[in-house]
Structure 1
Amino acid sequence: MEEQWIREVQRSGSRAAAEALIRARYDEIYRFVYRQTGHKEDAMDLTQSIFLAMLRALPTYRAERGTFRTWLYRIAANKVIDARRRARLTPLPLDEMEVSSEEDFTVRMQNQALLEQIESYVSGLEPQVQAVFRLRLYAEQSFPEIAAALGEQEAAVKSRYYRLLRRLREEFDPHG
């Protein structure tokens, strides 16, 4: 169905098709962004920006280069990277568990602090490294999906990701 909506937008600028396309992917992209911003308002603004960029770039989208989802995540990852350059965003831990005790709360706060340190560190790296990190961690994409989104070989993406993990362990793991 997405392909049909895309063709309608590309051919005639169909507003209904554009809205259907946005509705189909909005929640998924919003969750991806929210995990990285930690604030509803920031996530909503950034998600809107992502879809505006998607609509502007839709005439250049070609299915033979990759899936629409992959293409959209590339736009989303780049917009998050740009936003992190402009403002200090607070990512949410991936495990949003209920706090059941003071000890759990302390552990959760330590995890949040560590995630913020890691985010700050990663935000200072090259955009290609940031994109791999964000697509893997926050979008939970596979290496083939990330490779397609970035237009790179899967082996290069895996190598970049595992080098980053090694750097993060060296930087943030007191036990090595």
Structure 2
Amino acid sequence: MERTPEQDAAQEILARLVRQCMAGDQHAWQQLVATQHRRIYAICYRFTGSSCDAEDLTQDVFLKLYKNLASFDTQKGSFQTWITTLARNLLVDHFRRTRLDRASDSLDASYDGDEDGPTMGDRLADTRPTQEHHVAGMELKVRIQEALKQLSPELREAVILRDLEDMDYKEIAEVLRIPEGTVKSRISRGRGELARLLQRIEGQVV
């Protein structure tokens, strides 16, 4: 996946902020937190499904970032990948401590496992004005959330990083510390499992 000129420019600005932070610039640190907070919170929320847990975990991520920023090598990789790895490791610890297996807020994983197919978000888009269709859309959303509750964390995290965070396979492989082939396999399995779970849930409803 090739980056656009705009993405390259954004990465350069971010890299400059990181260098300033590493030099002890507190204003740069505040800017860095401001630029990354929303993204990190979103990742934490999608994994936990809890705004309270997401707030706490986001604070933990930035605390760990502050303590470990000096260890980041600007020549070896992307800061976005590095901070995502920090967040992911804390989330794994969180799962182990609490044994949570709640739904992430991911509604954009492909319904049938096809990378180019319509996403769940597309299927939930209610473009029809009738109350009947609105109710049907809400019922489908509930079913998807129920299916997500049953998806394993390892499949869920791969789908979230790919479909919601728009990370490429190489970046996800670095974050999860697994081969790219395994990343693709988990994404495919996650999407396929969601489809099967939805079919089962819909069959029970009918």
TM-score range, shorter chain: 0.7 to 0.9
- Gaps (5+ residues) in structure 1? none
Task: State TM-score, norm by structure 1.
Answer: 0.75
Give the match's secondary structure for 2:30. Answer: helix
Give the corresponding residue for 1:136.
Answer: 162
Match of 2:140 in 1: 107
| Percent of pairs with identical residues | 26
Amino acid at match of 1:5: L
Q: Name the structure where helix makes up a greater proportion of residues.
A: 1
Q: Are 1:149 and 2:175 matched, yes or no?
A: yes
Alignment map for 1:70-149 (pairs within 5 Å): 70-87=81-98, 88=100, 89-94=102-107, 95=121, 101-118=134-151, 122-123=152-153, 131-149=157-175
Secondary structure, counterpart of 2:165 in structure 1:
coil
Computing the radius of gyration from Cα coordinates, the structure with the larger value is 2
Matched, 1:7 2:5: no
Q: Find the counterpart in structure 2 of residue 22 from structure 1.
A: 33
- Alpha-carbon RMSD: 3.1
Question: Aligned AA for 1:10?
Answer: M
TM-score by length of 2: 0.65
State the shift of 1:156 in Å. 4.5
Equivalent pairs, count? 166
C-alpha distance in 2, partners of 1:7/1:102?
A: 51
- Structure 2 residues not aligned, in runs of 5+: 1-12, 108-120, 201-206
Q: How far apart in 2 are the matches of 1:22 and 1:60?
A: 17
1:15-38: per-residue Cα shift (whole Å, max 9, x none)? 222111111111122122222222
- How far apart are the structure 2 equivalents of 1:174 and 1:81? 29
**Aligned equivalent of 1:52, options 63, 69, 75:** 63
The structural deviation recorded for 1:71 is 0.8
Q: How far off is 1:74 after superposition?
A: 1.1
Pick aligned residue for 1:33 from 39, 44, 47:
44
How far off its partner does 1:101 sit?
A: 3.1
